[in-house]
Amino acid sequence: MWQLAVIAVVCGAVTAIGAQTAVNLRARGVATGFGYLRRSAGFEIAPGLVPFSSSDSNARALAAGIVNTARLSALGILTAAALGVTIGIARLSSIPTVAMLARAYVDVVRNVPVLLQILCWAAVLQRLPDAGLPWHPAPGVALTNRELSFLWGRVIVSPEFAALFAALSIYTAAFIAENVRGGIAAVPRGQQEAALALGLSRLAALRTVVLPQALPVIMPPTISQFVSVIKNSSLATAIGYFDLMSITNTTINQTGQAVEAMALAALFYLTASLAVAASTRALFGARHGI
Amino acid sequence: MTPVDLEVEMRGVNKWYGRFHALRDITLDVRRGERIAICGPSGSGKSTLIRCLNGLEPHQSGTIRVAGHVVDEHPRRIQAARREIGIVFQHLHLFPHLTTLENCTLAPIRVRRLSPIDAEALAWHFLDRLNVADQARKYPAALSGGQQQRVALARALAMSPKVLVLDEPTSALDPGTTEDVLAMLRSLASEGRTVICVTHDRTFARNLADRIVMMDAGTMAESNLAMASSDR
Amino acid sequence: MASRASGPGRVAVSLIALAPAAYVGWRVARWALVDAGWGVIADRYRFILFGAYPIAEQWRPAIVCLLFAVPFGLTVARAKWSRGVVAAWIATETTAVLLMHGGFAGLPEVPHDVWGGLPLTLMLSTTSFTLAMPVAIVLAFGRRSPMPAVRALCSAWIELIRGIPLVALLFMASVLVPLCLPDTLVIDKAIRIVLTFAVGVAAYEAEVVGAGIDGVPAAQRDAAAALGLSPIQTAVQIVLPQAIGASMPATINTFMAYFKDTTLVMIVGFFDLLGAAHAAIADGRWAGYGVEVYVFTALIYGVLCHAIARGGARLERGADGVSA
C-alpha cells in the first residue's frame, strides 16, 4: 500500500545518503565515531564557568559550550519573561504615557532582526574605555570594553555575553509583551468589571481574576518564545562568544567530524527545547473550570 | 426625608458617551430599605445609570452618593462605595476559574479583610439560604442558569452590601424560577436592604417594588404605584 | 479599561515612566546629532545597500528592490489567496534573478557572488518562501494523514526542524551537505542556502497552514464527499483554499520572521543587507563606526518590517470583513 511505498522511499533515501557520506568521509581521511571527544581540543576558549585550556578534551569543550548556552538561555528567559509581563501590562494601562511608551517599545524592537540588535549592542559596548580606565556609571560598577564588572567585582561578564543577554532579553520581551497583552485582552471585560464591582482594587482584580484566566491564552506562544531564546543563543557565533554552536563549529574545523558534532549539538537543542516546554507547561498548566 | 435616611442620592447627573447624551439630569432618591424598580425600553439608559452608580462609568456632571460615600473619580472613594453596593450583572460574570464558594469568599477576604474561616462561614450562610450550598465546590460551568444566578446573588450578598442592585435578573429565566427569585428578593429586602432592580419585566417590577421609576432616552420619570399586593 | 481623568497618583506614574525614557531619548538624540559619525553612511551606503555590485549597474538591483512592492501590494489588496497572486510572486522573483544576472539584451553579466545588500535579502526571503509553501502544504496534510507512518514522519520532521536553531541548519548546509553528496553532484552554496531556508520556513509554515486546515469545518469535508469528490480532490479544491485564506495573516507573520532571519546568512559568509553593513565597517577606515551603520540598517529593516506588518493587519481586517 501507499504507506509501505513511503516508508521504503524514505528508508532508501536515508540509506543512500548514509552510504555516500561514509564514502566521502573515508575519502577525506576523516574518522568516524565519538572517539574524538576524548582527544585534546587544541583550541582556546575564553574564560567562563568551566575552566578550560587547549589541552583539555573535546568533550570538555563541548561541556563548556553547553554550560555557556544554558547560562545565557536561562538568564535570557527569566529576564525576557519579567520584562515582557511588565510591558504587556503597561500596554493596557489607562495612563496614556505609559501605554504609549510600552507600545513604542514593542513596535520598534519587534521590527529589527535580533542579530542586528546583538551586533549593535556589541558595537556600543566596544566603545567603552580600554582596560586601564574603567567607566563607573554607578557605585560598584566598572565597565571596560574587555570586561563588565558589577557589584564590586562579584559579578563579571564579558562584553559578548552582555551584548547577547541584552539583545535576547529585550527582543524576546517585546514578543512576550504582545502575548500577555493579547491574553489579558481575551478575558471578557465583564470579568474585570465584576471584580471591581465587588470592591477589589485594579491590581487585585488583575491578579485574582484576570491573569488566571489570561494564562492559558498567554502560555503556548510564550513557551514558543522561551524556546526561541535557546535557539537564538546560537547567534553567539556571530560575535565570538563560546556557546555550544560556536564550539561545535570550531570542533568541526579541527577534527572534520561534522556529522557527530552536529548530531550532538542538535540533540542538545532539541532536548533543551522539550525540557523548557514541558517544565513551563507543568508550572503554568491550564487551570480547571476554563 | 432626612438625609440620613437616603441610601442612594443622585442629583442632576448627566453622562455623555462622546456626543451621545446618555443620562439627562437624573435625580433619584432611594430611602434605606426601599425597593425600587427602574423600567424602560432598551437604550433608555437603565444600565448606564447603575454603571454610574458604582463608578464603572464616569459621569460628567451632578453628584452621586451611595450609603454616604460620594461616587466621583477618586479611586478610594469609588472603592468605598463599591463595598456597599452589591451588583448582580445581567450576564452574571461569575469567575469561571474559581469554585462557587471561592467566588463568594474572594471579595470578603481581600476587600473586607475577613479571615478565610469567617469569609467561608458567611458564604455558606448565603449559599444555604439561596439553596445552592450543594454546589459550593463546583465550578460555575457545571451549574444550571438558575443556579448560577443564585450564586451571583450570594457573591454580591457575601459582601454585606447596603444596596443590592440587580440588572435584568429575570431575562434568562423561565417563569417558575422567576417566582423563586422574586420570593428570595422580597425576603432579602424585608431585612432592611435597599434593592434597586433594573428590569423590562413590568409584572416582576410591580410584584417586587414599592416604587417604579420609568426611564426613556436618558430621562427619568417617577411612577408611584401603590402596591396593593397582599403577598408582601 | 475605562479611563479616568488624571489624579495625582496617575500623574506621578506618568512622570516616573517618562523620566528614564526622556533621559535615554535625550542621550540618544545628542549622540545622533552631535557625536555620531554619519559620514560612514554617506561613504558606504552604496555598499550597504547593494553589496559589491558594480556601481555602473546598480540601477538594476535598485529596480529589483522596488519591484517587490508589486506582488506584496497585490497579496495585501486581495483578502484571499489566488493563482494570480502566486503567479505575480513567481514572476517577480524570476525577473529579479534575471535582471540581477544579466548576460542578455546588452546587459553585462554580473555573477551572483557579488550580489549583496537589500536585493539579496529580498530575493532570498521571497524565493525561499515561495519554494517552501508547497512543501509546507504537503507537510501540513501529511501530519494529518490517516496513514500513521506518514503522520509520524511528517510530525517528526516538523518537530526536528523547528527544534534546532536556524544557524545550525545553515552550518549543516555549508558543511554537512557536501559530505552527503557524491563528488559529481555539486550544488552551488547559494542554492544550498536558499533551499535550507526553504526547508526551515516549510516546517514553521506547515504548522500555520495546519491550523488553517483544522479550522475548516468538518461539514465541508462531508459536503464534498457527498458530492462524490475523492479525498485528494476534497483536500485540494475545498479544504486548501479555505485553509490558506484563513491562515494568511499568520503566514505573513511567518514571512516577516523569516525576512528578519535572512540576516543569519551573514554568519555563513553571504552579504545580505546586514552582512554588507557588517563588512562595511570591517574596512580599516570606518572600523569604529559600527553603531551608526547598524542604526542605519535597523531603520531600513524597521521600515520594511513595519510595512509588512501593516499589510498583514490590513489583510486580517479584510479577511474578517469587518474592522479588527
ipTM of the complex: 0.88
Nearest to B57 among C2, C5, C9 (CB): C2
What gap in Å lies between CA A69 and CA B13, rounded to an integer? 63
Do C263 and A115 make contact, defined as CB atoms within 8 angstroms?
A: yes
- Of C45, C38, C197, C200, the closest CA to residue C118 belongs to C45
**Stretch among A161-165, B29-33, C37-41, C79-83 having the lowest mean pLDDT:** C79-83
Q: Nearest chain A residue to C20 by CA: give it.
A: A101
Q: Is residue C150 within 8 angstroms of chain A, CB to CB?
A: yes
Quickly state the pLDDT bin for B200 (edges 50, 70, 90): confident
Any C CB within 8 A of B191 CB: no
Number of residue pairs across B and C with CB atoms under 8 Å? Answer: 11
Q: What is the pLDDT of residues A176-193, one digit of tens each?
A: 999 999 999 999 999 999
Instruction: Give tens-digit pLDDT for A59-96.
Output: 888 999 999 999 999 999 999 999 999 999 999 988 88
Percent of chain B with pLDDT over 90: 48
A153 sits in the region (left: phi over 0; alpha: psi -120 to 50; else beta) called left
Mean pLDDT, chain B, integer: 86
The residue of chain A with its CA nearest to that of C277 is A116
Contact status, residue C292 vs residue C41, Cβ threshold 8 Å: yes
Alpha helices in chain B (DSSP H): 46-53, 75-84, 100-110, 116-129, 145-157, 175-189, 202-208
Note the pLDDT of residue A287: 46
Closest CA to A111 of C265, C273, C306: C306
Which residues 53-72 in chain A show a CB within 8 A of chain C? Answer: none
**Bridge partners (DSSP) listed for residue B163:** B85, B194
| Subunit contact C294:A119, Cβ cutoff 8 A | yes
User: With bands split at pLDDT 50, 70 and 90, how would you rate the model's confidence at B99?
Assistant: very high
* Alpha carbon distance B178, C247 (integer Å): 46
Is C7 part of the contact surface with chain B (CB cutoff 8 Å)? Answer: yes
- Verify whether the Cβ–Cβ distance B89 to A197 is below 8 Å: yes
From the centroid of its chain, how far is CA A222?
A: 13
Q: Which helix (H) or strand (E) holds A172?
A: helix A159-186
Q: Say what percent of chain B tops pLDDT 70.
A: 93
Residue of A nearest to C308 (CA): A111
A1 or A128: which carries more pLDDT confidence?
A: A128
Cβ–Cβ gap C17/A231 under 8 Å: no
What amino acid occupies position C149?
Answer: A
Residue A240 CB neighbours (<10 A):
11
Which positions of chain C have pLDDT values less than 50?
A: 1-5, 321-324
Contact (Cβ atoms closer than 8 angstroms) between residue B229 and residue B212: no
pLDDT score, position C5: 46
Q: Of A201-210, B143-152, B216-225, which range is least confident?
A: B216-225
| A203 reaches B (C-beta below 8 A) | no
Kindly determine whether residue A234 and residue C294, on different chains, have CB atoms separated by under 8 Å: no
Beta strands B194-198; B35-39: pairing state: parallel
Rounded to the nearest angstrom, the gap between the alpha carbon of residue A48 and the centroid of all alpha carbons in its chain is: 18
| Inter-axis angle of helices B116-129 and B100-110, nearest 10 | 130
Smallest CA–CA distance, residue C10 to chain B, in Å, is 11
- Best of C185, C204, C294, C306 to substitute, by most chain A Cβ atoms within 10 angstroms, is C294
Q: Any CB–CB contact under 8 A between A101 and chain C?
A: yes
Candidates B74, B77, B78, B79, partner chain C, best to mutate (most C CBs within 10 A): B74
Query: Hey, which of A116-120, A278-282, B67-71 has the most confident mean pLDDT?
Result: A116-120
Would you call A201 and B75 a contact, using CB atoms and an 8 Å cutoff?
yes
Task: Tell me if A287 and B97 make a contact (CB, 8 A cut-off).
Answer: yes
Residues of A in contact with B99 (CB under 8 A): 289
Cβ within 8 Å of A, C 276-305: 278, 288, 290-291, 294-295, 297-298, 301-302, 305
In which element (H, E) is residue B219 found? strand B219-223
Q: Which residue of B has its CA nearest to C8?
A: B74
Contact of A186 with chain B, judged by CB distance below 8 Å, is answered with no
Which domains does chain A show, CATH number per domain?
36-288 (1.10.3720.10)
* Spatial separation of the C-alpha atoms in residues B43 and A113, rounded to whole Å: 50
Alpha helix positions (H), chain C:
8-30, 39-50, 59-67, 69-77, 83-101, 117-143, 148-163, 166-171, 177-180, 189-215, 218-226, 231-233, 240-246, 248-261, 273-282, 290-320
Reported as a single tens digit per residue, the pLDDT across B42-51 is 888 888 999 9
- The nearest alpha carbon in chain B to A190 belongs to B93
Q: What is the mean pLDDT of residues A43-53?
A: 77
> Residue A52's pLDDT is what?
80
Angle formed by the axes of helices C148-163 and C189-215, nearest 10°: 120
CB–CB contact A245 C261 (8 Å): no
Tell me what pLDDT residue C196 has: 94
Residue B227 pLDDT grade (very low, low, confident, very high; cuts 50, 70, 90)? very low
Cα separation, B198 vs B191, whole angstroms: 20
Residue A33: the pLDDT is: 81
User: CA-to-CA distance for B33 and B7, rounded, in angstroms?
Assistant: 8
Distance CA C65, CA A85 (A): 38
Beta strands across the sheet bearing A148-150: A142-143, A148-150, A155-157
pLDDT at residue B226 is higher than 50: no
